[in-house]
């Protein structure tokens, strides 16, 4: 575990049980009597941030990603993230493992939403859950593979609702580093959103890119005559929806390249064609992510 801020505070990984043993190693030159510990906050979850084997599948309008094998690569790059706020409350979002432009490296860069992880403390508390998908189309889910240890927050920007992290530990075997594109996607382009609604097994939404927008808040988005101010992509779905817990998840082209991350929106079971909005990856890349990801991929 690593400190979450200058005050040395950190959060333990999620413990499934009612007891936690904390072992502390100090250098031999340090007097144990000079060490002061406190437990100022406790985050108690009444539900796990992922489904256990045998958990019933949602009987709603979410679409199982395993029914769409063409999207297997970006599916394997998508994970649940659990983080803890300074007040002790914990929450889940989604995010995407990204590869950089150097084929010789496997640095665990991870993209999610600014409104999920806006600061170092939340990044330090992070743990991720991988490959939490059905065994087959509309079948029982596999248990998630957990990676603890937190992350470093490398970049965050409210304008595109982007946070870019480097995980302290590598993802599990089977996870995939997603490709990405810095070209603004064309309107009318078919796209897919891959996400974990409320930490549930992975789901997919398929639709079309319909607009580029400027958003002050999720309920206050509109066209802007200055294209440089249109930081979001609006999508209308034909199959599936997104919902809470999917924030930060990737928007992908049919090539498997990521072009955005989920800000929020209006799709739901009683309004499946309600639009959803994604922060533009191309703008986030030019604003800062190029420093870590390198030159655009061929």
pLDDT in tens, 12-65: 778 777 777 878 888 999 998 888 777 777 777 767 666 544 444 445 799 999
Q: What is the pTM of this model?
A: 0.88
Helical spans, DSSP H, in the chain: 72-76, 120-124, 281-284, 290-293
Q: How many CB atoms lie within 10 A of CB 36?
A: 5
245: left (phi over 0), alpha (psi -120 to 50) or beta: left
Cα–Cα distance measured from residue 99 to residue 179, given in angstroms and rounded to the nearest whole number: 6
Cα–Cα distance measured from residue 133 to residue 76, given in angstroms and rounded to the nearest whole number: 9
pLDDT in tens, 225-234: 555 579 999 9
For the four alpha carbons of 136, 242, 46 and 15, in that order, the dihedral sign comes to: positive
225 DSSP 8-state letter: S
Which token pair is 209? 């890119």
Question: How does strand 190-195 pair with strand 203-217?
Answer: antiparallel
pLDDT at 50 (0 to 100):
65
Cα–Cα distance measured from residue 124 to residue 126, given in angstroms and rounded to the nearest whole number: 6
Domain 190-287: CATH architecture, name and number where available: Beta Barrel (2.40)
Q: Could you report how far apart the first and last alpha carbons of the chain are, in Å?
A: 37
pLDDT in tens, 262-274: 999 999 999 999 9
Q: Mean pLDDT across the chain, nearest whole number?
A: 89
pLDDT at 53 (0 to 100):
44
User: Facing residues of 110 across strands?
Assistant: 97, 165
Q: Which residues of the chain have pLDDT under 50?
A: 1-3, 52-58
pLDDT at 98 (0 to 100):
98
């Amino acid at each position: 575990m690593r400190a979450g801020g200058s005050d040395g505070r950190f959060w333990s990984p999620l413990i499934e049980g009612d007891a936690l043993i904390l072992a502390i190693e100090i250098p031999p030159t340090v007097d144990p009597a000079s060490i002061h510990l406190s437990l100022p906050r406790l985050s108690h979850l009444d539900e796990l941030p992922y489904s256990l084997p045998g958990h019933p599948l949602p009987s709603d309008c979410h679409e199982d990603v395993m029914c769409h094998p063409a999207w297997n690569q970006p599916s394997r790059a998508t994970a649940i993230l659990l983080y803890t706020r300074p007040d002790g409350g914990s929450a889940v979002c989604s995010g995407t493992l990204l590869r950089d432009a150097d084929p010789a490296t496997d640095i665990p860069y991870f993209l999610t939403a600014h409104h999920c992880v806006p600061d170092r403390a939340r990044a330090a508390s992070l743990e991720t859950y991988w490959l939490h998908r059905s065994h087959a189309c509309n079948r029982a889910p596999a248990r998630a593979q957990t990676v603890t240890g937190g992350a470093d927050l490398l970049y965050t920007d409210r304008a595109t609702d982007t946070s870019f992290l480097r995980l302290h530990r590598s993802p599990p075997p089977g996870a995939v580093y997603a490709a990405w594109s810095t070209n603004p996607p064309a309107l009318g382009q078919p796209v897919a959103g891959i996400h974990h609604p409320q930490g549930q097994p992975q789901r997919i939404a398929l639709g079309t890119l319909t607009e580029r927008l400027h958003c002050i808040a999720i309920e206050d988005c509109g066209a802007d005559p200055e294209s440089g101010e249109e930081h979001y992509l609006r999508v209308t779905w034909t199959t599936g929806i997104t919902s809470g817990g999917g924030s930060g998840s990737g928007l992908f082209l049919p090539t498997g390249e990521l072009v955005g991350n989920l800000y929020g929106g209006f799709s739901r079971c009683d309004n499946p064609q309600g639009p959803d909005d994604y922060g533009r990856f191309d703008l986030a890349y030019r604003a800062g992510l190029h420093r870590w990801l390198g030159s655009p991929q061929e």
